[in-house]
Copies of this chain bind each other. A is one copy, B any other.
Amino acid sequence: MTEYTAPTDDIKFLIDDVLDYYGHYQKYPSYEEATPDMVEMIITECAKFCETELAPLNQSGDKEGCHLKDGKVTTPAGFKEAYQNFVDGGWQGLSHPVEYGGQGLPPSIGLIRTEMLGTANWSWSMYPGLSLGAMDTLIRHGSDSQKNTYLPKLTEGVWSGTMCLTEAQCGSDLGRIRCKAEPQEDGSYSITGSKIFISAGDHDLTENIIHIVLARLPGAPKGTRGISLFMVPKILVNEDSSLGEPNSVSCGALEEKMGIKASSTVLLNFDGARGYLIGEENNGLEYMFTYMNNARLGTAMQGVCSAELAYQISLPYVKERLSMRSLSGKKFPDMDADPIIVHPDVRKMLLTQKAISEGGRAMIYYAGKIVDDMEQCGDEQEREALNDKLGFLTPILKGFLTEVGFESANLGIQVLGGHGYTKEWGLEQIVRDTRVATLYEGTTGIQGLDLLGRKMLMERGKTLKSFANEIMGFCKDHSLISSDPHKLRMHKFIWPLSKAVFNWQRYSLQIASRARKDRDLIGSASVEYLMYSGYITMAYLWAMMAQKANEEIAKKPDNIDFYRAKVRTAEFYFERIFPRIKTLSKTMMAKPRSLMRITSEQF
């Protein structure tokens, strides 16, 4: 059994010290209930649920997997009971509107819950997780009647939702969707087509499943401009939310996957199923994009979850496992050999996991505040700026954190050597589970194009510039010429960070200028540009954490080790991880020629 202990101290350090969540909540009357007492209670209770109910089902769920029998999917033993307790605890509607039965807390609190659920048992967490996307879509784009009929049950969690985008012939390229929607006389639509890779597409946890489906109306424009969005319940729903007849939606196959085996991934056949249009015709893809930001933030979290869990399994092992002696002399002369934590390379692997898990969490919690702001912001212009900032950060978080999260999980296997390769320790499962994170909700390649092509070039670097200004402002506040008492301690972070942010803008300009003549540069540079941007964003958050930790250390607190660890992990990040931007800046600026010149036949 892989155990999980929610990192509540790390979470509190971020929300109390580094990101000042409570000051931020006080700005908004709707968030008045999000007091420190309330939030701490939520964290404690959620931690308990995750540690005692979800973590014990993580390995057993992987081993058993889902079952498909007579067209119905059943989840592994224990999943249903845990889900019922989740519903009873009111966890699903934590940050959803009170009018539909939610608790109305800020989305940033919902993200903390998502993290804990996901680290304890990612596969399980996908069932309520997919619902969030469907709920967000309805809240933003559904009619009042749709909201009233569907949202209370979804918010309670007795129904769940899915997002049905992918078809066999297209995943990233949604313009090529073929699923058909024919208008019916009663105002509904008849939906026909097959959707593949549908997470939580069928299962036995809820009474009903509400599918959000992309499909085409007859005569709709070709490509992405002819896609509409529909709500298709598994079981038809009466206006009073009671269940009616089964709809013509059937589960055609259960995918056999590398990991997330306890999460059902299915092929769904819609055979003239009754669906209801969401919003306006042919506007489906635009609606999907609003959903995408949230879904991608949730997927970015998987990177943090897998880094955190891998670290939690690796750490006790390296303190107990004895092998060889420290090269700088025996550290435990009374013992047969030194524990492997004395070895620099083992420490490097552990610190990488730690830096990525804590740095990644900080990045997501930082974005969580923007999500809150967007929800509450009344000013249209300010809202657009927030939307741009979140839109800029989202592909970075999703693409970068899922890649480095996979790396961290994979280091977990490496730390344990041959033992890590066996099923016993659970590390190989984390690697298999998290491998999907760089694929779904848009591959890393798609995130790279979104960041460089759309968010950077199409916006002419506006958001990059304002984000860079923010980081430079932080650097200035804590640089040697500032009045910060810790300025000397901060120099080792501020100097490389400001240099990198300066170059980030410089390279972006160069790419923009060169891409005008050579469009392939966008594709050739994009993934490296994404990773480059990710390392800089993480460096910013680590500098912020180091700064706050130094401040706390000056106060000589009881738990001084906790804050020292933050500073030392920041030092490690800047010295051993951050230099990856050196290679990235070189390769992303290389001409596309060496990629494009080789012909299809020469491959």
**Could you tell me which A residues sit within 8 Å of B by CB distance?**
166, 169-173, 176, 196-197, 255-259, 315, 319, 322-324, 326-329, 336-337, 341, 343-348, 350-351, 354, 410, 413-414, 417-418, 420-424, 428, 431-432, 435-436, 438-440, 443-445, 448-449, 453, 518-520, 522-524, 526-527, 561-562, 564-565, 568-569, 571-572, 574-576, 579-583, 586-587, 590-603
Contacts and interface: CB of A to CB of B under 8 A. Distances in A.
A338 to B, nearest CB: 10
A423 B590 contact: no
A344 B587 CA distance: 13
B435 A413 contact: yes
Contacts of A347: 595-596, 598
Given A431-B435, A568-B594, A172 B422 contact: no
A365 B600 CA distance: 27
Given A343-B523, A565-B598, A594-B568, A439 B423 contact: no
A344 B583 contact: no
A172 B324 contact: yes
A571 B594 contact: yes
Contacts of A344: 520, 523-524, 592, 595-596
A337 B178 CA distance: 14
Contact of A598 (B169, B522, B568): B568
B172 A345 contact: no
A322 B575 contact: no
Contacts of A413: 258, 435, 439
B582 A256 contact: no
A220 B557 CA distance: 53
Contacts of A328: 518-520
Determine the main DSSP class of A at the interface with B.
helix
A17 B574 CA distance: 46
Given A176-B322, A344-B596, A414-B444, 7 more contacts: A172-B417, A173-B324, A327-B453, A413-B439, A417-B443, A568-B598, A575-B591
B600 A257 contact: no
A345 B435 contact: no
A358 to B, nearest CB: 12
A587 B579 contact: yes
Contacts of A572: 594-595, 598
Nearest to A338: B173
Contacts of A445: 343, 345-346, 414
Contact of A436 (B169, B336, B421, B601): B421
A39 to B, nearest CB: 26
Contacts of A523: 327, 343-345
A602 B561 contact: yes
A439 B424 contact: no
